[in-house]
Chains A and B, each alone.
Chain A
Amino acid sequence: MPAGEEGLTGTLTPSLYLSPACGGGKSGGGDCQGRTNSASHVFEIFGIPSQALFSMLLLGAINGAFYAMMSLGLALIFGMLNIINFTHGAQYMMGAFAAWMLLNYAGMSYWAALILAPIAVAFSGLVLERLFLRHLYHLDHLYGFLLTFGVSLLIEGALREQYGVSGQPFQVPESLRGGVNVGFMFLPNYRLWVISASLTVCLAIWYVIERTRLGSYLRAGTENPVLVQAFGINIRRMITLTYMLGVGLAAFAGVLAAPIYQVSSIMGANIIPIIFAVVVIGGMGSIMGSIVTGFVLGLIEAFTKLIWPEASAVVIFVVMVAILLVRPQGLFGVRG
């Protein structure tokens, strides 16, 4: 092991880490794409170089798609069950962990995990709904909020106890590595995948809710459950399935996040305040509201990262307070 001098195992030769930008030295697999950004195309908009602006817009839209999908689950659950599902963050985290476990212990592929992990977590949601939430529907929102808050603490504490906080290794799957040069930046394939998957899922759900018969039952059930039950539709089962769907969406987002965000017990707690803000701004229970707001907020956040990076965490709340003052029911909410 030791070579020559005790302990020194390598040398800091320039070629080890500082080959000339592109074209020279060893490459680790052709990763010189997209490195050149022709300076001649860069112009400034309000003092911000166009290249930075466009990359910001693209990255913001991708994050926005992510937020949209997660808040969609929350909005669904609130609309149907009248429960403010604070556990959403923990369920997102469970999705990522479930995927990691499937990859690590069962040797499955990322794609298999993408289907199985949300299903597994959705079943945990079934348990939660049957055991606890069911008894809270008729009560004030705040009880559901507090209960799900408690459950999220339980889940996060348990996983932290077991796995620590540094996170688990999780790589981008082989088929999605690398990226494309879109002129103003290098876009990883994985991000392309994230935005396509999120958009597809969001639109699919929106379509089901707004345009299909099943969706109409759901919407009717939120307005008048007794009457819908009188028509012979099993409201209880619909409620449970809706909760499972919402939870499954959160877990799906978690699996999408696993390769690019740290898979750890605290990942849910970091994202949940943002998702809540999105849902509240969009109008709780409004599907389209969550989708649109998710995207817009993703863009606003990215923009803030460009011009005032330190404030990018708080800007969403400023927007939330501002919107709620002007339009109290949220952008797409209906005033009861």
Chain B
Amino acid sequence: MRQTRVLLADDHTLIRAGLRLVVEQRPEFAVVGEASDGREAVTLAQSLRPDVVVMDIGMPGLNGIEACLQIRGSLPDTQVVMLSMHSDEGYVLRALKAGARAYLLKDSAEADLASAIRAASEGKSFFSPAVGKVLLEDYMRTLQRTGAEDSYELLSPREREILQLVAEGKSSKEIAALLNLSVYTVETHRAHVMQKLNLRGVPELILYAVRKGIIS
């Protein structure tokens, strides 16, 4: 079995050691390197070409978001698992926009890291359960206080299906094959979803899906 090659990037030695401990417990994972800041992470990623980079969002010099953006820009096959202390949507959206596949709270890193690395390596999204909860709470509260309507109700069953598949990281071509539709039809549905939910881009769509508990 081919091992998943993992690069760890965190400015704190203790955390890196803890992460390594967790990763190396799984035989299917191998830690190929450690970086202590964003710049080093980018350099190492380019030389080692890992499958997954586990990256702290707040690092001195080049922060995790910038580093993720650079890695995803130059290495499309390398996925990024973002580690963060914040469950706020500002962070989640930033990480998603930078191209991260998984977003993990440090509090629960130990429990969810393996699942997150696995999901990311398969090109799927993964979010700490607590993140989805906070996003949903924020969403519901705003709806309630502003008296707005939940736009999810506007979607047709087919659109909801496509929303979920897009959020899970599938391309329009994959979705078309899966649902026995033409790529063009999938694209149309996708555009409708974006319009009805007032979303700009896939990261916002993923965030929405996480918020609604459609994916986790």
A and B found bound together:
no
**Residue positions of B touching A, CB distance < 8 A:** none
**Residue positions of A touching B, CB distance < 8 A:** none
